[in-house]
Structure 1
Amino acid sequence: MRVLLADDQTLVRTGFRLILGADGIDVVAEATDGTEAVEAVRRTRPDVVLMDVRMPRMDGLEATRRILTGAPGEPRVIILTTFDLDRYVYAALTAGASGFLLKDVTPEQLTAAVRTVRTGDALLAPAITRRLVQRFAGGEHRYGAGGEHRYGAGGEHRHGATDEGRYGAGGEHRHGATDEGRYGARSGGDTAALHRDLAPLTPRELEVLGLLARGLSNAELAGRLHLAEATVKTHVARVLAKLGLRDRVQAVIVAYETGLVSAGAHEAAPSAPEPVRGRPAP
């Protein structure tokens, strides 16, 4: 497995490289900012990128967007952060990142996370994604006309031709006060927009998406819907394919941002444990 490390802190990169190397994971390149990360991905074609969210010249959000729209093989991106509720983390997830890690994870958690996303699975528990959406989907991360927020094939984050000025010098993401998003927060009565955004889904697939957004695992979905787990997996795969999403994390985001599931709605306890804080990496 080939991994690229992007972080402006030398100690963080060194510690992660030693941890990954001890578990047989090859660190093929390191970058100190987003610009270097984008160039290194194109040059080395890693399977997974560990991306710091705040770096000089170009931040992790813009670097993630560029990597996932132009890199051969579409590597999986894991965002590195100090805080689990961070608008930059949320923006990176909508741009196609497969999850995030707190920087004080244990060595075991780090290697497990890299292997998890390499297989195509999303990294973080739905409960954390819900908290991010509930905090930031109501208007703090929404794109204006000409640069609507879209998920294309493979889940990449695409900006329209007139999407100028959203990213300032250094790749900083700027939000306008009048921004609206294709998947912006919906009022409870905006059913026309809801049906338009989720029109490709069948009633059963809408039901699966709603329960998925509340944190149910495939096994729990199967029990709730009285279906075989293999059938549930098929439904989930079809939901992702029809909406052009990379993984379950983006599915949760879309369910909340379209209004299919509202903040404060009854939620089932997720089966996946949330990341815990461990000892700092050496």
Structure 2
Amino acid sequence: MRVLVVDDEELVRAALRSVLGHDERLHVVGDCDGPAAVDATRALAPDLVLLDVDMPGAHGIGVVLPALRALPAPPAVAMLTALDTADHLEQALRQGASGFLLKTMEPRLFTDAVRLLAAGGVVCTPPGSAAVLAGWTARTPAAPAPPAGPGLLDVLTDREREVLTLIAAGLPNADIAACLGMGVTTVKTHIGAMKRKLGVDSRVALAATVHRTAAP
């Protein structure tokens, strides 16, 4: 899986190269700053571009992201930020981003998320993503469309939405527990409650619910 890192800080780019280099399934084909992102993408043909949200001279969401998505064979794009900002997440989804990753994530979880994104998945890291995904659900009908009334995920608690987001990211129960600071048994309890509330019978169906409701 080919990854291009785009950030205005060389130190950040080097750190991400180092983190992702520990997974033999990921190959960082290059790194650059924002103004060089489109040309680098054309030349290197990455499966995934990790794009800083805001860079001097090249606004990640407002300028670089739409330019990348307009390419004839656009890669998946995940936004990188040090701040968990709901406004940024919603704007990124509108512009066609496949994910939104915090730079403060634990390295192994970050690598797991990047691998899923490069394979075509959708990953939005908590805690802010749960509320934003719920907002998208309230405005955007799923397929098949749910009955009229509150958004599909509105029946879930905030904590259940956080667990659901990490399930959609492909994380196992032990990693979800570590990420959210709870026990594995508690994670399983939340999963059982979500299955009942959403009327699904599998973990895969739970993840599919998030992917459907996250699409702009």
TM over 0.5: yes
Query: 1:209 Cα shift?
Result: 5.8
> Aligned in 2, Cα 1:249/1:94: closer, same or farther, shift over 3 Å?
farther
* Greater share of strand: 2
Letter in 1 for 2:90: Y
Residue pair 1:122, 1:249 contacting (<8 A) in 2 also: no
Contact 2:102 2:125 in 1 (8 A): no
Three-state SS of the structure 1 residue aligned to 2:54 is coil
SS at match of 1:22: coil
CA gap of 1:131–1:199, structure 2 versus 1, over 3 A, is closer
- Considering fraction of residues, name the structure with more helix: 2
Residue 12 in structure 1 maps to residue 18 in structure 2 = no
Aligned length: 182
Residue 59 of structure 2 aligns with which residue?
59
Give the superposition deviation at 1:106: 2.8
Structure 1 match to 2:115: 115
Aligned mates of 2:197, 2:154 — CA distance in 1:
11
Structure 1 residue 223 and structure 2 residue 196: aligned?
yes
Asked if the contact 1:42/1:71 (under 8 Å) is kept, the reply is no
Distance in 2, Cα, partners of 1:104 & 1:225? 31
1:37-76 aligned at under 5 Å gives the runs 37-61=37-61, 62-72=63-73, 74-76=74-76
Amino acid in structure 2 at the alignment position of 1:210:
L
Shift of 1:88: 3.1
Secondary structure in 2 matching 1:96: coil
Taking a change above 3 Å as real, the CA distance of residues 211 and 16 of structure 1, as seen in their structure-2 partners, is same
Alignment of 1:1-282 (within 5 A): 1-24=1-24, 25-33=26-34, 35-61=35-61, 62-72=63-73, 74-85=74-85, 87-125=87-125, 128-132=128-132, 198=141, 201-203=144-146, 210-211=152-153, 214=156, 215=161, 217=164, 222-229=195-202, 232=205, 236=209, 247-248=211-212, 250-251=214-215
**CA apart distance, 1:93:** 2.4
1:213–1:127 CA distance, 2 compared to 1 (3 A): farther
CA distance, structure 1, for counterparts of residue 194 and residue 150 of structure 2: 7
C-alpha separation between the residues in 2 aligned to 1:6 and 1:108?
20
Percent identity between the two aligned chains: 31
Asked if the contact 2:133/2:213 (under 8 Å) is kept, the reply is: no
Deviations 1:19-76 (A, max 9, x none): 212222211121211x31122112211111111111133211121122123251x322
Q: Say if 1:225 and 1:85 are closer, same or farther in 2 by CA, change over 3 A.
A: closer
Does structure 2 retain, via aligned residues, the 8 Å contact 1:85–1:131? no
Shift of 1:86: 5.3
* Aligned Cα root-mean-square deviation (Å): 3.7
- Cα distance in structure 2, aligned partners of 1:230 and 1:248: 15
Higher relative contact order (Cα pairs below 8 Å, separated by 6+ residues): 1
Contact 2:32 2:40 in 1 (8 A): yes
Provide TM-score, normalisation by structure 2: 0.66
Taking the aligned partners of 1:209 and 1:130, their CA distance within structure 2 comes to 13
Q: Which has the larger radius of gyration?
A: 1
Distance in 2, Cα, partners of 1:75 & 1:65: 11
Q: Distance in 2 between matches of 1:7 and 1:38?
A: 13
Letter in 1 for 2:32: A
Segment drifting more, 225-234 vs 111-120: 225-234
Q: Would the aligned equivalents of 1:51 and 1:77 in 2 still touch at CA under 8 Å?
A: yes
CA 1:78/1:132 → structure 2, altered by over 3 Å: closer, same or farther?
A: same
